[in-house]
Structure 1
Amino acid sequence: MIVYNVTISVEEGIEEAWLKWMKEEHMPEVMATGYFEDHKIFRLMSHLKQNEGVTYVCQYFAKSKAILNQYITKSSPALQQKSKAKFGEKALAYRSIMEQVD
């Protein structure tokens, strides 16, 4: 299993609106692309460094790196642009890829 991990730093003033949008619009759109088997969202409870705002981690689970690469090239740019247009610098995302090991 491959995990597409998106860590987002969200300004406090938009947290409620951002979370509603993620749950009701963005994550369903990502899942509707058909590239992922499941998804989860987490709120980071502790930080090693102090910063303003809150941090969320969204994880999307793909069967293979090849499937994830298809998402990254075909669907991700438009979805990222929608997010940037809606929240700009108030919700900054960092993406990473993880592989499940047994």
Structure 2
Amino acid sequence: MRGSTTKEYKVLTREQVLYTVRATVAPEIEADWVEWMQTRHIPDVLKEPGFLRAWLLRVTSPTREEWAEFVMVYQLENQAALDAYMASPARARLIQEVADRYGDRAPSTRLFLQAVATIEAEGHPGE
């Protein structure tokens, strides 16, 4: 990942799942948080079994807070890989690293998603 700007289209299969983390980041740590996510945290998560790729996205819809919002989307091979990660010591360690570094200046929530269908626009084929 490391700040890649390569345009790439990947299809989400029905077996694969998405693990999302939404973080609200205080203005005074935003630049450091983004850099650390790109160069340390997300690459460390992607080393775990079953992880395929990740996206770091900035929320652009209006919010009531002055803090920036980001969503990290991790694509995994299947539900079993996500279940194994959720029960792993690595997950606890990775979450603790974020808490130790940023405390309450970057609270987050998690959401788990499974594909029901992929519908493509005409003229934009998948892989």
TM-score (norm 1): 0.94
Counterpart of 1:69 in structure 2 is 83
Say which structure, 1 or 2, has more relative contact order (CA 8 Å, 6+ apart): 1
Counterpart of 1:93 in structure 2 is 108
Hey, which of these two has a bigger chunk of strand by percent? 1
User: Equivalent residue of 1:37, what SS?
Assistant: strand
Question: Does 2:21 correspond to 1:3?
Answer: no
Counterpart of 2:42 in structure 1 is 27
Q: Determine which of 13, 28, 32 is the counterpart of 1:13.
A: 28
Which digits, 9 at most, give the CA deviation of each residue in 1:51-100, with x for residues without a partner? Answer: 12000000101121111011111121110000000000000110010111
User: Equivalent residue of 2:22, what SS?
Assistant: strand
* Residue segments in structure 1 that go unaligned for 5+ positions in a row: none
Q: Determine which of 71, 78, 84 is the counterpart of 1:57.
A: 71
The answer as to whether partners of 2:49 and 2:81 remain within 8 angstroms in 1 is no
Identity percentage of aligned residues: 26
C-alpha deviation, 1:50, in angstroms: 0.6
TM-score (norm 2): 0.76
* Residue segments in structure 2 that go unaligned for 5+ positions in a row: 1-15, 118-127
Question: Does 2:61 correspond to 1:83?
Answer: no
CA RMSD of aligned residues (A): 0.9
Instruction: Name the stretch that deviates more: 34-43 or 9-18.
Output: 34-43
